[in-house]
Amino acid sequence: MKKLLSLAAAAMTVTAALTGPSATSLAETDAPNYLLSCSFESGEDGWTGRGGASVETTSKSAFAGSKALYCSNRSDSWNGAAISLESTVSAGSTYSFSTNVKYESGKKETALYHFTMQYSDGSDTKYVKIASATIIKGEWAQLTNPCFTVPAGASDISIYVETATGTTDFYVDDVKIADEGTAIEGAKGGKYIPGDILPDGVVDTFDLICARKLLVASDQPAPQSINADVDKSTEFAVNDLVLLDEYVSGKITEFPDNTPEPEVTPFEYEANKQFKEAPGNYFQRCEQQGKVTQENYSSIRGNKTLYVYTPYNYDPEKKYNIFYLMHGGGENEKTLFFQDDTMIQNMLDHMIMNGELEPLIVVTPTFNGQGGEAANFYEELRANVIPFVEGKYSTYAESTSEEDIRASRMHRAYGGFSMGSVSTWQVFKNDIDLVGYFMPLSGDHWGGNGAYGKAKDLADAVDKSGFTNRQYFIFAATGSDDIAYPNVNPQVDEMKKMSQFKFTSDFSEGNFYFMVAPGKTHWWGYVRHYVYDALPYFFHETGE
């Protein structure tokens, strides 16, 4: 993708010509009486990190003066930079608020920032947005509201800067509070407003004039801007000028979205994947740490608990693949994240950070409780778990209707260890219309009689579903010394003989694989490495 460059320098001459020398400078007027003014030139000025975030002054970037406040170590979007106002403002009164914000890290070229007030109404903690703006990466932008009223009855008042999504670091500078209606000088531009090339916060004829001048300014490639690229094609061209003209003249009320489809590089499968242990440090804390959240839900078997792993910089505006991973007998939903011989979340963090795995959501439910057993968990998965989790977290399911869950099945996987593997085969048999990828680990299918009967039971389920063998994928694994091996290996041998299962770990050619780890036994300390080997092979096929 061709990188879009800022038009700030290129538009400077045009801006001066359009605005002229008539603008009155602040020095020619009476200086406002600021109730709060934080420049960060001599320290943090009373600002602190919110929700575990850290703040410090820095000279790496500044809007005014030589320093700004730098906010880092954010683990959630609401973590940010905050200051208590104490007696600075009064409940029910109206003031002018302003701050300037900039971010430089992360993959997103724009991000939505909020300038927020927190207060107590006497019984609960409340939050209200003072100002919000989508700002452009690498540019200072002002968040301002000249007429914001502090809620009546508010106490314990503080203000803070946060993001709508993500946990990228950011800078804050030149924070001011003044009397109602005071125009507080701040950063010009820096906000993502398609068509606002000048920039002055509005899209009008002046932007059209600016665009025309820039397009023919020289024989070099025309200067690029994320605001000038009104159709989001990644480059500023004549088509953008035409659309801008139509918008200013009222012929259109919104710009089209011509965002190009991202390039997809085919995944490089191995046809005969061999067991490989994850690096030892993958089970230690990662510098780009995801988050594990406990969730409670109501199911057909009573009230239950599950845990959800969301990757570092999880963004609810993005879509994520999802993997449901079940524990074994005598274990529970905490096993995968909180035992010394598992710590799956650390492994996922390292794999994602090192590019071995696309960011995804991992859920650890339980078949325990109120008569629930591994073999019938497929009922609860369909009725409760998938709708609950994917109604709250961002996956490829457009809604929690069964139709939309079915439509997104190739972005959904299910696996499990031991009794969890038993549940995996049952999910394959009964919920194949909802799940596209399966990872049974150290456990066989408990349907049918004998090895052939087990394989035939699964093949019959496929035939009943109507799916072709390009629409479901199984990566099974166990250890050669695992107690499950004598049962699952004969089943696999029978499955290899059936047309529904084409044996290879190259899922561009087949759909079924069984990896055997030499000398490994029935223990999570080994099994977690099977997940390391198998999971990167998921979610690359379309099912078409």
Convert the pLDDT of each residue in 229-277 to its tens digit: 999 888 888 999 999 999 999 999 999 999 888 777 789 999 999 999 9
Tell me the three state secondary structure of residue 430: helix
pLDDT of res. 287:
85
| Residue 2 per-residue DSSP state | P
**β-strand 68-72 against 54-58: which pairing, if any?**
antiparallel
Give me the residue spans of the domains in the chain: 1-17+192-263, 33-179, 280-537
Give 228's Cβ-side CA count (13 Å radius).
29
Q: What percentage of the chain's residues is helix, strand, coil (to nearest 5)?
A: 25, 25, 50
CA dihedral 459, 462, 467, 469 (to 10 degrees): -30
List 304's β-bridge partners, or say none.
297
User: Longest C-alpha distance within the chain, in Å?
Assistant: 92
Instruction: Tell me, rounded to whole angstroms, the distance of Cα 369 from its chain centroid.
Output: 32
Rounded CA gap, 438 and 445, in Å? 13
Query: What pLDDT tens digit does each residue of the chain (544 aa) get?
Result: 333 434 434 444 444 444 443 333 333 446 678 999 999 999 999 999 999 899 999 999 999 999 999 999 997 789 999 999 988 999 999 999 999 999 998 778 899 999 999 999 999 999 999 999 999 999 999 999 999 999 999 999 999 999 998 889 999 999 999 999 999 999 998 999 999 988 888 899 999 998 888 777 654 444 447 898 999 888 888 999 999 999 999 999 999 999 888 777 789 999 999 999 999 899 998 988 999 999 999 999 889 999 999 999 899 989 999 999 999 999 999 998 988 888 999 999 999 999 999 999 999 999 998 677 889 999 999 999 999 999 999 999 999 999 999 999 999 999 999 999 999 999 999 999 999 999 999 999 999 899 999 999 999 999 999 999 999 999 999 999 999 999 999 999 999 999 999 999 999 999 999 999 999 999 999 999 999 999 999 999 998 8
pLDDT in the model for residue 270: 93
Q: Report the candidate in 98, 97, 79, 96 with the shortest Cα–Cα distance to residue 170.
A: 79
Per-residue pLDDT, 246: 94
Query: Terminal CA-to-CA distance of the chain, rounded, Å?
Result: 28
Burial of 446 (0-12, 13-18, 19+ CB in 10 A): middle
Report how far residue 120's alpha carbon sits from residue 157's, in angstroms, rounded to the nearest whole number: 7
**What pLDDT sits at residue 30?**
60
Please state, in angstroms and as integers, the Cα–Cα distance from residue 67 to each residue in 40, 159, 361, following that order: 6, 20, 39
What is the 8-class DSSP label of residue 493?
A: H
Please calculate the CA angle 308-344-502 and round it to the nearest 5 degrees.
Answer: 95
Architecture, CATH, for domain 1-17+192-263:
Orthogonal Bundle (1.10)
Q: Are 218 and 228 in contact (CB under 8 A)?
A: no
Helices (H) and strands (E) in the chain, counts: 12, 19
Q: Please give the Cα distance from 339 to 343 (Å, whole number).
A: 6
Q: How far apart are CA 509 and CA 511, in angstroms?
A: 7
For residue 72, give the nearest of 173, 171, 169 by alpha carbon.
169
Residue 86: the pLDDT is 85
Within 229-315, strands assigned E span 291-299, 302-310
Cα angle value 180/185/186 (rounded, 5°): 115
Rg, the chain, Cα only: 28
Domain 280-537 grouped into CATH 3.40.50.1820: yes
Assigned architecture for domain 33-179: Sandwich (2.60)
Separation between Cα atoms, residue 10 and residue 214, nearest integer Å:
8
Q: Considering only CA atoms, which of 316, 288, 293, 313 is closest in space to residue 305?
A: 293
